[in-house]
Amino acid sequence: MAIAVVLVLLVVGSVIFHFMSPWWFTPIASNWGTMDDTVILTFWVTGIVFVVVNLFLAWSVMRYRHRKGQKADYEPENKKLEWWLTGITTVGVAAMLAPGLFVWGKFVVVPKEATIVEAVGQQWHWSFRLPGQNGELGFTDESLITPDNPFGVDPADPNGLDDILIASPELHLPIGKPVKVLLRSKDVLHNFTVTQFRVKMDIVPGMITYLWLTPTVIGEYELMCEELCGLAHFAMRGRVVVDSQEAYDTWLTSQSTFSQTQALAAADPAAGATQYAVCMACHGPAGEGNQALNAPRIAGQSAWYLQRQLNNFRAGVRGAHEQDTFGAQMRAFAAMLPDDTAIRNVAAHIASLPGSMAQSTVTGDVNRGKTLYSNCVACHGASAQGIWALNAPRLAQMSDWYLERQLNNFRSGIRGAHRQDYYGRQMAFMADVLADERAIDDLISYINTLKPEDNQVLASRRGF
C-alpha cells in the first residue's frame, strides 16, 4: 500500500523536479540548438512512458494488493496486447532515433567554408594552432617536439611556416563563422568540451579527430577535458573566447607564427647580465636570494619559467592581488624591463647563474611530506627538478620559505586567481589538496631533501 503511494509521489516528484530544476542546459552558444531539441524531444517521449508505466504500476499494486479472498487472474499471455505494446514502443523509438540520426548527419559532414583550428591536448594543458594565409596547417610529428618547437611542426613543410601558434590555453574564435576543430594529443586521451557549444570529441594520440561548430554568442567559455587523463585531469582547463570579427582580427594579429618563433634570436645571457643589475640588489649577485628582503633564490630556475613570471608581473597577471604585497613590489621591478627581448635575455642570464643551494628554514615530517609529494611528482618531477613539458618549475633547492608563501598564496587565492594566469589556476587546484600549514611544512621539508642530478637540472633549465 505504502509502496503504491510512494511510487505516485516519486513520479509526481520527479516531474516537478524536472520542471523546477535549477540545473538545466547552459545557454547555448553554437549552432547546435538542434541537439538540445533532440534531448528535449527524448525527454518528452521517455517522460510520458515514465509517467504512464509507473502510474499503471502503482495503480496495479494498489488495486490488486492481497486481500482476503482475492484470487489472481490466470492469463499466460495476451498476444494482441503484447503486439500492440511492441508496435507502440517501436514507433516511439523511431520517433527519437530519426531526428537524432538526421542531426548526426549534419555533424558528420563539415561545411566546406569551415576554417581550421587545431587544439593540442597534453597533460594537463591546452594549446592551439591556426593556419596562416594559405589556410593549411603544416605537418607535425611528435618526434620534432622541443622547447623551441613545442608543437612539433615540421620546419621542412612550407605550409607550416605561417602557422599561428598559441601556446597559452586561450583560443579566440570569430562569431558566426563555422570552424572545424582538429584535435591532436601529445600524450594520452583527452577530450575537447565547451559545454555551451554542446559538441565534444575525444583527442586520441596517434590520430587526428575533429568536431565542428559555428559560435553564435560572444563571450568567454570554459574549455574542459572530459576524458580521464591522469592525476590532474580535473585541473586541465582552458578558455574559448568568441569575439566579434574586429576583436578577433586584433587578437589574431598579435599572435606569432611558427617562422617568427623560429626566427627569434637566441637569448643573450651577456646582455641579460646588464639588466640583472636591477635584480641584484634583492636577489643577490649570484641569484642566491635573500630572505630578509623577501627575495627568493632564482639561480638555477628555468629560463622559460622566469620569462613567464616576468611577463605575468609586467602584465599584472601576477602580483596585482591587493594582499600580494611582495608581488606588488616585484611588479614595479618587472616593469623596468623594456621588452620581450630584455626579459628573455635576463631570464637566460639568471638561468646560467650557478647559485648555491638555499638554506632550509622549514621543518616538518619528511615521511608525510613524501606521501604528499606524490601529488606533485607527475609535473614537478621525481627530484623536483621541474619539467618544461608540463609547465612545472624547479622546486628542489630553491628558497623553501618562498615555496611556503606561494603555496599559501595559491590556497588563499592571492596567486592563480587572475583570469589570465592559466598555469597558476592549475596550481591553485592542486594546492587545495594540502590540508593546512603543517601539510605544507611537511611537503616542503621533503622537497628540501631532494637533490636533482646536474643533468636533470640542466635539462630542465634548457627546457627538456
Partner 1 sequence: MAYVAIADRDAPIHDPHTFFLKYIWSQDHKVIAIQYAIVAISVGLVALVLSGLMRLQLGFPGTFHFIEPQDYYQFITMHGMIMVIYLLTALFLGGFGNYLIPLMCGARDMVFPYMNMLSFWVYLLAVLVLMASFFVPGGPTGAGWTLYPPQAITQGTPGAGLGIILMLISLGIFIVAFTMGGLNYVTTVLQARCRGMTLMRMPLSVWGIFMATILGLLAFPALLVSAVMMTLDSTLGTSFFMPAVMSLGEKLGHNGGSPLLFQHLFWFFGHPEVYIVALPAFGIVSDLLSTHARKNIFGYRMMVWAIIAIGGLSFVVWAHHMYVSGMNPYFGFFFATTTLIIAIPTAIKVYNWVLTLWKGDIHLTVPMMFAIGFIFTFIHGGLTGLFLGNVTVDLPLSDTYFVVAHFHMVMGVSPILVVFGAIYHWFPKITGRMWNQKLGMVHFWMTFLGTYAIYLPMHYLGILGVPRRYYALGNTDFIPDSVHSINAAITISALIVAAAQLVFLFNMIMSLRKGEKAPPNPWRATTLEWQTPDTPPKHGNWGPKLPVVHRWAYDYSVPGAKEDFIPQNEPVDPKLGAGRDHGTHR
Instruction: Write out the binding residues for partner 1, residues 56-85 only, by CB under 8 A.
Output: 56-57, 60-61, 64-66, 70-82, 85
Q: Which of 117, 179, 306, 430 binds partner 1 (CB under 8 A)?
A: 430
Q: Are strands 209-213 and 256-257 parallel, antiparallel or unpaired?
A: unpaired
Closest approach of partner 1 to the CB of residue 354, in Å = 24
Contacts of 134-137 with C-beta under 8 Å, sequence gap 24+, read 134/159, 134/162, 137/163, 137/182
Sign of CA dihedral 196, 197, 202, 208: negative
Nearer to partner 1, 108 or 265 (CB): 108
Decide: 410 and 416 in contact? Cβ < 8 Å: yes
- CB distance 212 to 107 below 8 Å: yes
The residue among 238 and 296 lying less far from partner 1, judged by its C-beta, is 238
Closest approach of partner 1 to the CB of residue 460, in Å: 9
Tell me the closest approach of the beta carbon of residue 223 to partner 1, in angstroms: 11
- CB-nearer residue toward partner 1: 36 or 340: 36
Query: Which grid cell is 377?
Result: 611528482
Going across the sheet that includes 200-203, the strands are: 170-174, 237-243, 219-224, 190-193, 200-203
- For 198, other C-beta atoms within 10 Å of its C-beta total 22
Q: Is 303 in the site for partner 1 (CB under 8 A)?
A: no
One of 347, 350, 439, 447 touching partner 1 (CB under 8 A): 439
Question: Of the candidates 53, 263, 270, 277, which one interacts with partner 1 according to CB under 8 A?
Answer: 53
187 versus 324: smaller Cβ distance to partner 1: 187
Interface pick for partner 1 out of 107, 326, 333, 401 (rule CB under 8 A): 107
| One residue of 99, 132, 155, 178 binding partner 1 per CB under 8 A | 99
Please report how close the Cβ of residue 367 comes to partner 1 at its closest, in angstroms. 14
Phi, psi of 97 (to 5 degrees): -70, -45
Residue listed under C-alpha cell 527519437: 96
Q: Say whether residue 189 binds partner 1 (CB under 8 A).
A: yes
Q: Which three cell numbers stand for residue 294?
A: 623577501
Q: How far apart are CB 390 and partner 1 at their closest, in Å?
A: 6
Residue 234 touching partner 1 (CB under 8 A): yes
Per CB under 8 A, 282 contacts partner 1: no
Q: How far is CA 375 from the centre of its chain?
A: 17
Closer by beta carbon to partner 1, 183 or else 398: 183
Confirm if 426 and 123 have CB atoms less than 8 A apart: no
- The single residue among 93, 156, 217, 280 that binds partner 1, judged by CB under 8 A, is 93
Q: What is the CA radius of gyration of the chain?
A: 29
**Please, which of residues 318-337 interact with partner 1 by CB under 8 A?**
none
- For helices 303-315 and 325-334, give the axis angle rounded to 10 degrees: 100
- Which 369-398 residues touch partner 1, going by CB under 8 A? 372, 374-375, 378-379, 381, 387-390
Biggest CA-to-CA distance, the chain: 104
Nearer to partner 1, 3 or 281 (CB): 3
Judged by CB under 8 A, the chain residues 11 through 50 that form the site for partner 1 are 14, 17-18, 21-26, 32, 34-36, 38-39, 42, 45-46, 49-50
Among positions 8, 114, 167, 231, the unique one binding partner 1 when judged by CB under 8 A: 231
| Residue range at the interface with partner 1 (CB under 8 A); choices 1-9, 170-178, 267-275, 332-340 | 1-9
Locate all alpha helices (DSSP H) within 109-202, ordered by sequence: 158-161
103, 38 Cβ separation under 8 angstroms? yes
Which of 47, 35, 41, 44 has the alpha carbon at shortest distance from 102? 35
For the bound state, the minimum distance from the C-beta of residue 7 to partner 1, rounded and expressed in Å, comes to: 6
Which positions from 124 through 163 interact with partner 1, judged by CB under 8 A?
142-143, 145
How far is residue 307's CA from residue 247's CA, in Å, rounded to a whole number?
Answer: 27
C-beta of 333: minimal distance to partner 1 in Å?
Answer: 30
Q: How many residues bind partner 1 (CB under 8 A)?
A: 123
Compute the least distance from the CB of residue 263 to partner 1, in Å.
25
Binding residue for partner 1, selected from 202, 268, 324, 365, defined by CB under 8 A: 202
**Residue 218 engages partner 1 in binding (rule: CB under 8 A):** no
Nearest CA to 153 out of 190, 118, 202 is that of 118
Identify whether the C-beta of residue 306 lies closer than 8 Å to the C-beta of residue 393: no
Contact 135/115 with Cβ under 8 angstroms? yes
